[in-house]
Amino acid sequence: MKEFDIGETVRAHYNSGTYIGKIKEDRGERMLVEVLAVDKHPLQGDIHNYNQIEGVFFHERKALALHEKANIKKAAIHPYDEEILRYGVSLRKAVEQLKEKLLAKDTPFNRLALEKLEGLEKEKYVHLYDK
């Protein structure tokens, strides 16, 4: 496992999303990472019962916010040396990529996940896209 320095830019997987951020603190088995951009939007629904909508709590998961800090396992952190998109630009791109994936196959799960994602977009994300 690679060792990271404080201030180093990384790609970090957290829950079902992936973020670009900076290492803020080493916490033993985890690192505190400050979010700068969204690389992959978190999945919607019950990630333990993926593709199911009945008999499960269908979660609406929003992306971590700009400058939000997450305590992430070291094994889920990887070097990153590409350009860092502005947070709003990266969020829009990640949302669009997830929408494309959900629209590619018409299933009850994908329709509900798309509904949740579009709700997040309308209520929480649209005002962030140009920032």
- Residue 3 falls inside a structural domain: no
- Residue 60 falls inside a structural domain: yes
Total structural domains within the chain: 1
Structure confidence at residue 9 (pLDDT): 98
CA–CA dist 115, 103 (Å, integer): 11
Is residue 67 over pLDDT 70? yes
Question: What would you measure as the largest C-alpha separation in the chain, in angstroms?
Answer: 45
Per-residue pLDDT tens digits for 6-65: 999 999 999 999 999 999 999 999 999 999 999 999 988 777 667 767 766 677 899 999
Q: Which domain holds residue 95?
A: 9-128
Q: Domain containing 56 — which CATH number?
A: 2.30.30.430
- Residue 52 falls inside a structural domain: yes
CA–CA distances in Å: residue 109 to residues 6, 13, 93, 95, 122: 40, 23, 22, 17, 20
Structure confidence at residue 1 (pLDDT): 64
Place of tokens 């350009």: 83
